[in-house]
Structure 1
Amino acid sequence: MISSAMLKGVWAYRGFVVGSVKREFQAKYGNAVLGAAWTVLNPLAMIVVYTVIFAQVMRSKLPGVDSSFAYSIYLCAGVLTWGLFTEITTRAQTVFIEHANLIKKLQFPRICLPLIVVLNATLNFGIVFALFTLFLLASGNFPGWVFAALLPVLLLQIALAIGLGMLLGVLNVFFRDVGQFFGIFIQFWFWLTPIVYPASILPEEVRALLPWNPMASVIGAYQDILVHAKSPDWSSLALPAVLAVLLCMLGMQTFRKRSGEMVDEL
């Protein structure tokens, strides 16, 4: 998917990548009174709203969970990780357009731009998730050794997000409607994924379609680990894994094929 020449190019420009991540983080939070706290406050506000609206209805719907924090943990497991997926895909689809002047003026490996998106999103996610982990420890809801199973699920989600994001990013340069359409589509995708509600409340015929939603399996894996303290059903992640590989391959192929033409379109 990524050639050795491309990897060498990224390594040669590692200072540019690290500097860009640092500058973007500082630009986003440097002049804010609360600084990086906004990274936490935005998803926290969403979780509070959903908890207030849905907690009494959904708390009794979570099977096999007795903790008083069960629904809040269930929400965090979905909302925080969905936020990472959304940030990578939405940023990646506009990254070439946003950096049009840079692409036109400088010669550098353009694959650095999606990498910067992934690193920025992962940094933001890491801050929020570290605080969430502290909450799990303080409340006595830490899942134990199975917590380590988060890493392969996280890597799978990032691969799925950047593969889709890169493909959309290249297409969006040539067809600007792509970005507009995906902005609407991802809102529907959120509500079609059991994040705010458990899959158990869905009708049987609708539940049977969930395995075809790759993010339902990924979010479900997070929920198994963090809410139920059990290892996820790895077989359920087969489709997202295959899709992630295919999207990364297609995204890289499209990127390599069209990168030269993008300059004329930007």
Structure 2
Amino acid sequence: MSVFSLLKDVLRFRGLIYAITLREIKSRYVGSTFGPLWLIVPPVFMVFIYTVIFARLMQARMPGIEHQYAYSIYLCAGLITWNLLLELVQRGKGVFLEHANLIKKSNFPKFILFIPVVAVALLNSMMLLCLVLIFMLVSGYPLSLATLMIFPLLGITVVLGLAVGALLATLNVFFRDIGQISDVVFQALFWATPIVYPLSILSEPVQRILSWNPVFPLVLNAQKAMLGEPLSLSQLVYPLVFGLVVLLLAVLLYKRSYNDLLDQI
């Protein structure tokens, strides 16, 4: 299937994509008193907690950076990247089961079910990123051109998260324990990624071991971008290639098991 045919399918079923995306967003605050306000409150609260608790109360500091909010920015940059990846995987792995009735009753390319997942995850990440950038401006932390590199970094994160989510989506249909197993794996992966702790506290042998974690260079360079430090662009080849390979495996597995998948859901 060519890129042209994929784009053609997206345009043809844009109404379905829009409806699913809108439902995804509305389902997060349906029946609540404050409605869409809940899309903004959690990221605002998270930024507030990390800046007040870590910067003010715990007096956490980044090695080599004097600014009092540097650690808070470091932490938020890591969490923006991690939360985007995690949401793509968590929502992606249940796509086929969640939309089982729609899949059985309608004939459409199933890959479009992942587009709303990506759209909602990016919406949440962009809202958090905007809040962090506003906080940086208010707190007087210097912004630089390196900060713009956060966007291609998040693009690679989307590729990786989508690939893993798509692979787990097919496996989850046949092995329902996949959801629980992936939750445990990602809990371990979180602590194997320098999000809440500076990389400098780790020994070089440990750093080399953790560098096999494909999320490691994404988070590390996202933090460098937000802090205005030089990026290690060569490190980004690994997570990008890893994501593309996993995506290829996900497509092959889906095609080989398509008929059985329809029976299982």
TM-score using structure 2 length: 0.90
C-alpha distance after superposition, 1:137-182 (max 9, x if no partner): 2222242222221121111010010011100111111111111100
TM superposition shift of 1:6: 3.4
Structure 2 matches for 1:84-233, cutoff 5 A? 84-227=84-227, 229-233=228-232
Equivalent-residue separation in structure 2 for 1:58 and 1:171 (angstroms): 45
Describe the SS at the equivalent of 2:96.
helix
Give, in whole Å, the separation in 2 of the partners of 1:76 and 1:92.
23
Query: Residue 217 of structure 1: CA displacement?
Result: 0.5
**Aligned-partner SS, 1:28:** coil
State the SS of the aligned residue for 1:65: coil
Aligned-pair CA distance for 1:40: 4.2
DSSP-derived class of the 1:111 partner: helix
Distance 1:196 1:121, change over 3 A: same
Contact kept, 8 Å, 1:218 with 1:240, in 2: the verdict is yes
- Counterpart CA distance in 2 for 1:190 and 1:236 is 19
Cα drift, residue 7 of structure 1? 3.2
CA distance in 2, matches of 1:249, 1:57: 45
CA displacement at 1:231 relative to structure 2: 3.6
- For residue 262 of structure 2, what is the amino acid of its counterpart? V
Q: CA deviation at 1:255?
A: 2.2
**CA distance, structure 2, for counterparts of residue 69 and residue 152 of structure 1:** 24
- Residue 259 (structure 1) aligns with: 258
- Secondary structure in structure 2 of the residue aligned to 1:209: helix
Q: Which residue of 1 aligns with 2:60?
A: 59
State percent identity of aligned pairs: 35
On the 8 A contact 1:94/1:169 being kept in 2, the answer is yes
What is the SS of the residue equivalent to 1:107? Answer: coil
Deviation at 1:258, TM superposition (A): 2.4
Q: Name stretches of at least 5 consecutive residues in structure 1 with no aligned partner.
A: none
Aligned equivalents of 1:25, 1:73: Cα separation in 2: 27
Unaligned runs of 5+ in 2: none
The farther-off stretch of 22-31 and 12-21 is 22-31
Structure 2: distance between partners of 1:58 and 1:253: 50
User: How far did residue 29 of structure 1 move?
Assistant: 2.1
Tell me the secondary structure at the aligned position of residue 212 of structure 1: coil
Which residue number corresponds to residue 34 of structure 1?
Answer: 34
* 8 Å CA contact 1:2, 1:252 repeated in 2: no
How many Å separate the matches in 1 of 2:74 and 2:87?
A: 20
- Written as runs of structure 1 = structure 2, the 5 A alignment for 1:12-27 is 12-27=12-27
Deviation at 1:125, TM superposition (A): 1.5
Match of 1:236 in 2: 235
Q: Distance in 2 between matches of 1:55 and 1:251?
A: 45
Q: Which whole-Å CA distance do the structure 2 matches of 1:58 and 1:235 have between them? A: 33
Does the CA contact (< 8 Å) of 2:54 and 2:72 recur in 1?
no
8 A Cα contact 1:159 1:245, kept in partner: yes
Give aligned pairs, total.
Answer: 264
In structure 2, the CA distance between the partners of 1:189 and 1:40, relative to structure 1 (3 Å rule), is farther
